[in-house]
Amino acid sequence: RSGEMATKVTQLIDNEVFWAYATYTTIVLLKMMLMSLITAYFRITRKAFVNPEDTASFGKGESAKKYLRTDADVERVRRGHLNDLENIVPFLGIGLLYALSGPELSTALLHFRIFAGARILHTFAYLIPLPQPSRGLSWAVGYVVTISMAYKVFKTTLYL
């Protein structure tokens, strides 16, 4: 039974839309993972840590404790990372279902490209930072693209 199910899924995957989804999803997930490295970079250069074991190499007692602190740049990157999670998780799920719902390739590519572009712009807008409404608009564009894909999923497959 599970083999039968797997075969059906396989048939679906003969599908340029699916591999376009794969490409853009991997791009936005890698972009999100980059936020971890940027956070680590700022934590180390700003010497702003949160776990006592992370400052052990700076010595013992008070000399190390002063590095257990928050830093504005670290917090900014962390907010950008969380915003990525909040927006890329819906894209991951809704985008997959959208890719399997039979959209036109050109329409699907438009959705994926705009979403990926908006999230990359959002990161620049957050980290530089650019004046508002740069960050707000880039966030909203990704949001609307996701809603548009959800609408297509519901139109094709609503099964309550």
3-state helix, strand, coil in the chain (%, to 5): 80, 0, 20
Shortest CB 91 distance to its own copies, Å: 9
Cβ-based burial of 91 (10 A; exposed 0-12, middle 13-18, buried ≥19) = buried
Per rule CB under 8 A, is residue 117 in the interface with its own copies? no
Per rule CB under 8 A, is residue 90 in the interface with its own copies? yes
Per rule CB under 8 A, is residue 8 in the interface with its own copies? yes
Q: What gap in Å lies between CA 117 and CA 112, rounded to an integer?
A: 8
Site residue total, its own copies (CB under 8 A): 72
Shortest CB 128 distance to its own copies, Å: 10
How many alpha carbons lie under 13 Å from residue 122 in its C-beta half-sphere? Answer: 28
Per rule CB under 8 A, is residue 154 in the interface with its own copies? yes
Per rule CB under 8 A, is residue 43 in the interface with its own copies? no
Shortest CB 110 distance to its own copies, Å: 13
Per rule CB under 8 A, is residue 60 in the interface with its own copies? no
Per rule CB under 8 A, is residue 48 in the interface with its own copies? no
Contacts of 112 (CB under 8 A, 6+ apart): 20, 21, 23, 24, 95
